[in-house]
């Protein structure tokens, strides 16, 4: 047994892999990760940009697609869905053995649709129907425009990974969208699943930058504390939301909680412990999706112990201390949401540009 197994069996937290590469699928490395305790997989446009640009593994299929007359963007989606199909098959036994709790593989809608509600809804529906597997999560960004499509997809009994959540206020809206979607779904709800991907490390990157600019001892003492505190307060919001008569009525129909998923959990600052955003966010009914390096680090020297709600008062004090110094968390999270959307769109556009050059060479 590994620490990743212990994380689930002892703390009811599911470790997922936040990466995908075709070479891992063909070599059996992804199967090895699953044997080590990985219980799901997430991807995003930046991950696919790195996978496809940095490897020759995709060249043959891309060449075939171009040879068949597909345009560059259609060829890109064929590459992506091929990898996702393979990963779905590898993770399917986890889905079956966990009765649909884990074993999910996530694929994101076109990031250019993040501010387009109708486009997001149409793209999410298309991806879900194209891949048509019970352990698929379609990722929808948690922009204001994404909230209605989230509810609609849940009402249609499609499983959704809501991504790019930074603020507690938006997280509350995401959970409301999920619950509203369940209320509009017909019949049994037991096969509808969702996670809410709450981004962690980027909070510290931006807050630390602002604290460094203030430069006082009080400010510097708060470096590296905002992200964990924000996640811990999000967990408190989660536990306060999925209770009471409204939720109980949905549970009677088979509803599952929308688990918080800690994303962006690799440590960006080398001065911080490499498992900081795993060790400090362990608790039941949660997921942590980790890049392979962070997964390996946690399996080697992480600490398996409940930490998510052991000192909520301390988390609240971090936020009040930041506010007293003039750190506006609303401004921080709005900036990070905009940057996150832009970064995914940039990755998508850059990769299409690279593939366009390849296609021109092939032609």
Catalytic residues: 139
Residue with structure tokens 């992480």?
A: 302
* Adjacency order of strands within the sheet including 259-263: 13-17, 286-290, 259-263, 194-199, 160-165, 136-141, 105-108
Distance CA 324, CA 211 (A): 12
User: Which contiguous run of DSSP H or E holds residue 14?
Assistant: strand 13-17
Distance CA 159, CA 297 (A): 30
Instruction: Characterize 330-362 residue by residue with b for buried, 16 or more Cβ atoms within 10 angstroms of its Cβ, and e for exposed.
Output: eebbeebbeebbebbbebbeebbeebeebbeee
Ordered DSSP codes for 236-247:
HHHHHHS-SHHH
Residue 282's nearest CA partner among 9, 94, 1 is 9
User: Which contiguous run of DSSP H or E holds residue 171?
Assistant: helix 168-184
Distance CA 136, CA 178 (A): 17
Q: 31, 40 in Cβ contact below 8 A?
A: no
Residue 175's nearest CA partner among 85, 86, 236, 110 is 236
Residue 65's nearest CA partner among 51, 50, 49, 77 is 77
């Amino acid at each position: 047994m590994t620490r990743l197994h212990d994380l689930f069996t002892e703390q009811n937290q599911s470790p997922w892999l936040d990466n995908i590469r075709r070479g891992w699928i063909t070599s059996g490395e992804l199967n090895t990760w699953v044997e080590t305790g990985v219980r799901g997989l997430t991807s995003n446009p930046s991950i696919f940009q790195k996978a496809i640009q940095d490897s020759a593994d995709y060249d043959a299929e891309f060449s075939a697609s171009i040879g068949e007359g597909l345009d560059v963007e259609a060829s890109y989606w064929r590459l992506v869905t091929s990898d996702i199909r393979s990963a779905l098959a590898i993770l399917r036994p986890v889905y079956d053995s966990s009765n649909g709790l884990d074993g999910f593989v996530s694929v994101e809608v076109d990031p250019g649709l993040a501010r387009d509600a109708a486009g997001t809804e149409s793209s999410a529906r298309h991806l879900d129907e194209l891949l048509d597997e019970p352990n698929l999560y379609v990722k929808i960004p948690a922009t204001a425009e994404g909230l209605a499509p989230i509810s609609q997809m849940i009402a249609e009994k499609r499983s959704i990974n809501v991504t790019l959540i930074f603020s507690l206020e938006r997280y509350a809206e995401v959970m409301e969208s999920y619950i509203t979607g369940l209320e509009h779904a017909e019949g049994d709800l037991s096969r509808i699943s969702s996670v809410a991907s709450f981004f962690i490390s980027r909070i510290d990157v931006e807050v630390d930058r602002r604290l460094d600019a203030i430069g006082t001892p009080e400010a510097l003492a708060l470096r590296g504390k905002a992200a964990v505190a924000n996640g811990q307060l999000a967990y408190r919001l989660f536990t306060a939301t999925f209770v009471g008569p409204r939720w109980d009525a949905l549970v009677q129909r088979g509803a599952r909680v929308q688990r918080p998923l800690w994303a962006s959990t690799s440590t960006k600052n080398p001065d911080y412990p490499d498992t900081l955003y795993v060790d400090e966010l362990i608790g039941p009914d949660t997921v942590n999706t980790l890049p392979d390096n962070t997964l390996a680090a946690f399996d080697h020297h992480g600490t398996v112990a409940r930490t998510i709600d052991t000192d909520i008062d301390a988390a609240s004090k971090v936020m009040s201390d930041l506010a007293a110094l003039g750190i506006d968390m609303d401004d921080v999270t709005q900036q990070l949401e905009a940057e996150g959307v832009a970064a995914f769109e940039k990755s998508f556009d850059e990769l299409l540009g690279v593939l366009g050059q390849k296609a021109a060479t092939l032609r």
